[in-house]
Structure 1
Amino acid sequence: MSGVLHGVFPVLPTIFDAAGEVDTRSTLDVLEFTLDAGVDGVVFPGLASEYDHLTLDERLGLIKAIGSVARGRTTLIVGAGSISTDETVSLARAGIAAGASAAMVMTPHRLDGDLQGLVDFYTTLAEAAPLDILLQNAPRPMGLGLDVEALVDILRKAPAVTHLKEETVPCGPRISQLLTLAPGLAGVFGGAGGRHIIDELTRGAVGTMPASELADTHVALVAAFHAGDISAARGYYERMMPILMMQSVYRWRLTKAVLAMRGVIRSEFTRAPGPSLDLHDREELRAWLARLGHVAREPQVASTVG
C-alpha cells in the first residue's frame, strides 16, 4: 500500500478545441492551474473529464501527458473506470507507467447485483495492475450507488481497495458508517462536486475530489479546516455554494465557463450532452466569482457546442 491519500484532489476536465478535438496543451494548462493552487493531487480521467465521451486511445494519451507533467510535482490518481475489465486494466497500467499512486474505479454497471462479481473484479484488477484502488461509489445512473453493507463486504474481501470516494447521498452519514464499520479503510473522500464538503470533513473524510474550477478555494477551505478555523472554512463554503449549485445543473459546461472566465482555457467545447448557460447565467456566475475574489474575464473563444 502506497499510504493514505488525503487533501484536495480535483478531477481534471478534458479540454477540446472549437472543433471538438482533444486539446492536450490546454488540458495541461488546467493541470498547471491546479498545481499553482496548491492541490495535494489530481485525478484523471473521471466523470468531470467526460471520460465516457473519450476513446480509449484519447484517455491513454492524456494519462501519459498528464503523468509527464505531474510526476515529481503532485500525486496522480488514474481514473480506470471503463465498460470492460480489459480496458480498466489497460487504463490502470497506463497510470502505473505515468507514475500514478492509485486507480479510481467506478463500480461497473455490468456487475449490478453481483456482489461477489464486484469482489472478483477488484481482486483481478489489483493482480493485473498492482495499484491501490479507490472505489468510486457514485449514485445511479453514473454508478451503482452501493449501500454501506455492500461496500463493507467488498472492503473485507478485496483488500486492494484501500480508499473510497463516497458520492451517494446522504454522503455524510454514509461516511460515518463506513469509518465505523470498516476500520481498515485508509480513507474516504467526498465528491459530489464539493457540495457537502464541510459535513464530509467534520465526519472524518480525508479529503475531497471536486471539479477543478475552484481548486484554489477548495485548498483554502481544507487548510482552514485543518488549522481549526472552522468559521473561515464555512465562509469559503458559503461563498462557493452558489457556483457549486450551478455546477450541479450545468456540470462540464459550468466548469469550463469558469475556467474560461479565469483565463485558464479558451474553448468551452463539451462532448457530453446537457444544458448550456445563457447570458443571464453567465452574468450571475461572474457576480459569484467576484464574491470569491476572482476577476472574471471575457474568454477569447467561448465555444459551448456539445
Structure 2
Amino acid sequence: MSPPSLVGVFPVLPTPFDAQGRPDVGSLRKLVAYLLRCGVDGITYPGVASEVGQLTPDERLSLVDAVLDEVAGRVPVIAGVSSSDAALTGRLAAAASARGAAALMVAVPPDRKSAAEQIGYFTQVAKAAPEASLMLQNVPLPVGAGLDPEVLLEVIAAVPAIRYVKEETLPSGQRLTVLRDRGPAHLLGVFGGAGGRYITDELRRGAAGTMPAIELAEVHTALFKAHREGDADRVRALFTRMLPVLNVQAVFRWSLTKYVLKKRGLIADTRQRMPGPLLDALDAADVDAFLGDIGDLLLPQDQLP
C-alpha cells in the first residue's frame, strides 16, 4: 500500500436538531468550530452517528454545504453519501464532490448479497463522481452488509475509485490487517470507527486513522498525537481514561453524544430523530462523573466556541 494521504482523527459530526425536530444549522457550525479548535485532522459528515438515515436528501445536501462552508478548506471533509438506492447515492456523491469533499464515504448496502452486486453498486457510484476518492464503509448487519475480508478485497480490486476503507465489522483489527497486507496498490488507507473503542489495536495494526463520534474529540486528537510520536504508554493511558464514556456511548449512541455536547454548551437541544435508548437521571449522573474524571483532558469552557 502507498502512504495514505488522509491520516489521523476524522470525527463524525452528529446532526443537531432544534426543539421542533428541524436541523439546527447554527449548532452544526458551532460543532465544526469546536472540532477545529481540538486540532482534528479532518471531519466526516454525515454518517451513522449523524442519524443519516433520518435525513431527507435535500437536508443532507444543505447540511453538507454548511459543513464545507464552515470548514472553509482548513481540513479535509469526508462526505457520507450512503443510501440503498445507487442513483440517490450517485446524486449525493456528485454534489459533494463538486462542492469540494476530500473523499466520499459509502456504506456497503445490506441488500447486495454477492460480491458482483456490491461491485455493480460501487461502480455506479464511482461513475457518478469520476474524480472522487471513495471510502468503503464496512458496517456490520443490520445497517450494512458486514462483508468478509475476502469479499472486500474482491470489491476493492474491481473498483479503483475505492481508495479508503472504514472497517467497523468485528474484529476490526484482524480485518484491518488482512486489508493492509493484501489490498491493491490503489488502497491508500484503512480507518477504524465503532466510536474509537478499538483504536489501540487498530493503530498497532497500521490504521491510517480513526473516525469516532465527537464528544471526546480533544482526547482522540491527543491520543493520535501520542501515536505519531511513538508513545505507546500514553496512547494506552489516554484510551483507558476514555473507556467509561466510550462504554456508555456504545449503548446510548446519539443520546450520550448529544447529552455531552449540550452540557458543554455546544448544541442547543438534545433531540434526536433516530429511535434508541435515552439517558435517564442516573445514567446522566454517571456520565457527569466520568467527564469530571477526564476534565483535565478537555478544552476549558472559556476556550469553546
Scaled by the length of structure 1, the TM-score of the pair is 0.93
Please list, as runs of the form range in 1=range in 2, the aligned pairs for 1:122-201 lying within 5 A after superposition: 122-130=122-130, 131-184=132-185, 185-201=187-203
1:220 to 219, 222, 228: 222
Structure 1 position 13 matched with structure 2 position 14: yes
Deviation at 1:4, TM superposition (A): 2.0
Offset at residue 196 of structure 1 (A) = 0.2
Q: How does 1:286-301 map to 2 (within 5 A)?
A: 286-293=288-295, 294=298
Question: Secondary structure, in 3 states, of the residue corresponding to 1:110?
Answer: coil
Once the two structures are superposed, the pairs formed by residues 276-291 of structure 1 within 5 Å of their partners are: 276-291=278-293
* Contact in 1 for aligned 2:157/2:184 (Cα 8 Å): no
Q: CA deviation at 1:109?
A: 2.3
State whether residues 79 and 105 of structure 1, in contact with CA within 8 Å, keep that contact through their aligned partners in structure 2.
yes
Q: Residue 163 of structure 2: SS of its match in structure 1? A: strand
Q: Secondary structure at the match of 1:165?
A: strand
**Alpha-carbon distance in structure 1 between the residues aligned to 2:174 and 2:110:** 24
User: What's 2:47 paired with?
Assistant: 46
Report if aligned partners of 2:91, 2:128 keep a CA contact under 8 Å in 1: no
In the TM superposition, what is the alpha-carbon distance from 1:266 to its structure 2 partner?
Answer: 1.9
Deviation at 1:296, TM superposition (A): 10
Contact 2:262 2:270 survives alignment (8 Å): yes
User: Equivalents in 2 of 1:28, 1:268: separation in Å?
Assistant: 16
Higher relative contact order (CA 8 A, sep 6+): 2
Structure 1 moving runs of 4+ over 4 Å: 294-297
* Alpha-carbon distance change, 295 to 178 in structure 1, aligned in 2, over 3 angstroms: closer
Aligned partners of 1:71 and 1:98 also within 8 Å: no
Choose 78-87 or 46-55, whichever is displaced more. 78-87
What residue in structure 2 maps to residue 303 of structure 1?
Answer: none
Query: What secondary structure does 1:109 align onto?
Result: coil
C-alpha contact 2:78 2:101 (8 A) present in aligned 1: yes
Q: Would you say how many aligned residue pairs link Structure 1 and Structure 2?
A: 296
Alignment match, 2:63: 62
State whether structure 2 residue 212 is matched by structure 1 residue 210.
yes
How far, CA to CA, are the matches of 2:252 and 2:67 in structure 1? 25
Alpha-carbon distance in structure 1 between the residues aligned to 2:143 and 2:151: 18
TM-aligned CA deviation for residue 295 of structure 1: 8.6
The AA in structure 1 aligned to 2:256 is L
Q: CA RMSD in A?
A: 1.7
Instruction: Say whether the 8 Å CA contact 2:45–2:79 is kept in structure 1.
Output: yes
> CA offsets, 1:81-140, max 9 Å, x none?
0121111011112212321011000011231x1211211221221121121000000111
**How far apart in 2 are the matches of 1:140 and 1:167?**
10
State the alpha-carbon separation in 2 of the partners of residues 37 and 194 from structure 1: 16
> How far 1:165 moved relative to its partner?
0.3
Q: Do the aligned residues in 2 keep the contact of 1:71 with 1:99 (CA within 8 Å)?
A: no
CA distance in 2, matches of 1:252, 1:296: 23
Structure 1 position 100 matched with structure 2 position 68: no
SS in 1 for 2:111: helix
Q: Residues 295 and 127 of structure 1: is their aligned pair in 2 closer, same or farther, counting only changes over 3 Å? A: closer
Contact preservation (8 Å) 2:41, 2:75: yes
Amino acid at match of 1:127: K
Structure 2 SS opposite 1:18: coil
**Does the residue aligned with 2:21 lie in a helix, a strand or coil?**
coil
Report the Cα distance in structure 2 between the residues aligned to 1:160 and 1:14, rounded to whole angstroms: 28
Per the alignment, residue 304 of structure 1 pairs with none
Q: Aligned partners of 1:7, 1:212: CA distance in 2, in Å?
A: 14
Q: Tell me the equivalent position of 2:72.
A: 71
